[in-house]
């Protein structure tokens, strides 16, 4: 993945900072802080299950946290 392929998830990052460290948010959601950092900075797209978990955790609509994830048919 090149830098231009990455999409910084600004809303996700903003909410994560309010909730605490990447390690804390990761621990609270059953993943590592590194995974949260990778999600936040657009290096990985989390599974659907993790996206829903994070959406509930932050109390934010899925499309607000992951605007770069398009529906596929």
Which 3 state secondary structure label does DSSP give 33? helix
Q: What is the pTM of this model?
A: 0.84
Domain ranges, residue 35: 3-59
| Structural domain count of the chain | 1
Residue 71 falls within a domain, yes or no? no
pLDDT of residue 67: 84
pLDDT of residue 73: 43
Contact 66, 12 (CB under 8 A): yes
Of the two residues 35 and 8, the one the predictor is more confident about is 35
Please say if the pLDDT value at position 7 is more than 90: no
CATH code for the domain in which residue 37 is found: 1.10.260
Residue 67 falls within a domain, yes or no? no
Residue 72 falls within a domain, yes or no? no
């Amino acid at each position: 993945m090149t830098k231009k392929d990455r999409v910084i998830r600004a809303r996700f990052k903003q909410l994560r900072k309010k909730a605490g460290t990447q390690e804390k948010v990761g621990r609270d959601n059953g993943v590592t802080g590194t995974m949260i950092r990778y999600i936040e900075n657009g290096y990985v797209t989390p599974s659907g299950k993790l996206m829903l978990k994070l959406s509930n955790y932050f109390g934010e609509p899925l499309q607000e946290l992951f605007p770069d994830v398009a529906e596929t048919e």
